[in-house]
Amino acid sequence: MDLSRFARRRYTSFVTPLEPLPRFSAALAASCPGGRGPEVWIKRDDMLGLFPGGNKTRKLEFLVADALGQGADTLITCGAPQSNHCRITLAAAAREGLKCRFVIEERVPGSFSETASGNHFMFRLMGVESLTVVPAGSNMAQAMQAQADALAAQGRKGYIVPGGGSNALGGLGYVACAQELQQQFFDMGVQIDRVVVGSGSSGTHGGLLAGFLGNRIHIPIVGIGVSRDPADQEPLVHKEAQAVADLLNLNMVVPRDAVLSIGGYWQPKYSVPNPMMVEAVQMLARTEGIPLDPVYTGKIMAGLIGLSRQGYFKPGERVLFLHTGGLPSVHAFERVLLDGPPA
């Protein structure tokens, strides 16, 4: 697939590493049936540009290029109080000399704090122009449009980046990732049996799926839900994958059975810690020295661990974990990650 016809800003000057996790795999195997588990590998998209990296960087390469092409002077986006997406969008804006505005949805009542650490500290450090907090369930598209209208009244031009950067254009970032992975598999002589990825706003999961199908990469993708169970999540992923395929003119109907997500690891609520997440974060940090974040990658890895212990993955099967970043939010959950969530 040729992505060259799409405008793109380059925020990462290297290919993110693809690495085995031998000590983590051994620790996991010890708790699996028969003392055998999968061979876990990792794709280090936490090392992407716009420090400290994360999956949204790939999406913003296309979205910000579109914003600049339209003459925008301000990026407008939305997310939760510790949004990685908001933080990376702000970093892109700073890199490009643009202003940035957020609409923050307080999905868990009382979770927003002006003095919070983690990503909220980064919002303030990198100079977000304005931050509007709205209650859970608000119409986020409408709230972002209100910001764009306010800018227009001042003679400025805002560009709305959808939540998570998840639309067809943003999804091209993970088509590019699929192509990058395909080349790495060839160069390294590595055969991967399954890929485990987070499934939230659906841009990463859907974009990667479209990229795998379009490039004829026959590796199943297992999405671990971070905010919804499969009945609600899978239609979103399917819609995103189809939108990306249509944008690329692939003349392809995305098979519904190619979309797989697993629920049960994100409860009790989005962004609220659970013991499985804490175990996953501690386990990877203490075996491989790689941090995960509590909202996304910690729960995604909890899913990989839980599925392994259930025998979902065959012993010795090579399972690739896509690390989508989120480092700053670790600092907003320090006590939870050391002591565990409250009972």
DSSP for 292-321? --TTTHHHHHHHHHHHHHTT-SPTT-EEEE
pLDDT tens-digit map of 43-72: 999 999 998 899 999 999 999 999 999 999
Both 35 and 62 in one domain: the answer is no
Both 219 and 137 in one domain: the answer is no
Domain end marker among 136, 165, 194: 165
Q: Work out the average pLDDT over 206-229.
A: 98
Both 139 and 74 in one domain: the answer is yes
* Cβ within 8 Å of residue 81, ≥6 positions away: 104, 106, 111, 112, 113, 116, 119, 120
Q: Work out the average pLDDT over 252-273.
A: 97
**Residue 218 within a domain:** yes
Cα distance between residue 58 and residue 313, in whole Å: 29
First vs last C-alpha separation in the chain? 50
Q: Is 83 a catalytic residue?
A: yes
**Cβ(224)–Cβ(197) under 8 Å?**
yes
pLDDT of residue 51: 83
pLDDT tens-digit map of 279-332: 999 999 999 999 999 999 999 999 999 999 999 999 999 999 999 999 999 999
Q: What is the CATH number of the domain that holds 93?
A: 3.40.50.1100
**Residue 10 within a domain:** no
pLDDT of residue 1: 84
pLDDT tens-digit map of 8-36: 999 999 999 999 999 999 999 999 999 99
**Residue 226 within a domain:** yes
**Which one is catalytic: 4, 13, 25, 83?**
83
Both 178 and 48 in one domain: the answer is yes
pLDDT tens-digit map of 165-203: 999 999 999 999 999 999 999 999 999 999 999 999 999
Both 255 and 146 in one domain: the answer is no
Amino acid at 211: G
Beta bridge partners of 105: 134
Both 148 and 33 in one domain: the answer is no
pLDDT tens-digit map of 128-144: 999 999 999 999 999 99
Cα distance between residue 108 and residue 21, in whole Å: 34
Amino acid at 36: R
CB count, 10 Å around CB of 198?
A: 28
Q: Which 3 state secondary structure label does DSSP give 147?
A: helix
Both 49 and 172 in one domain: the answer is yes
Both 268 and 205 in one domain: the answer is yes
**Residue 112 within a domain:** yes
Cα distance between residue 66 and residue 322, in whole Å: 26
**Residue 186 within a domain:** yes
Query: For 137, left (φ over 0), alpha (ψ -120 to 50), or beta?
Result: left
Domain end marker among 115, 145, 165: 165
Name the CA radius of gyration of the chain, rounded: 19
Both 50 and 60 in one domain: the answer is no
pLDDT of residue 208: 98
**Domain residue limits at 326:** 18-54+167-339
Beta bridge partners of 132: 103
pLDDT of residue 253: 98
Pairing of strands 74-79, 39-44: unpaired
Domain end marker among 165, 193, 208: 165
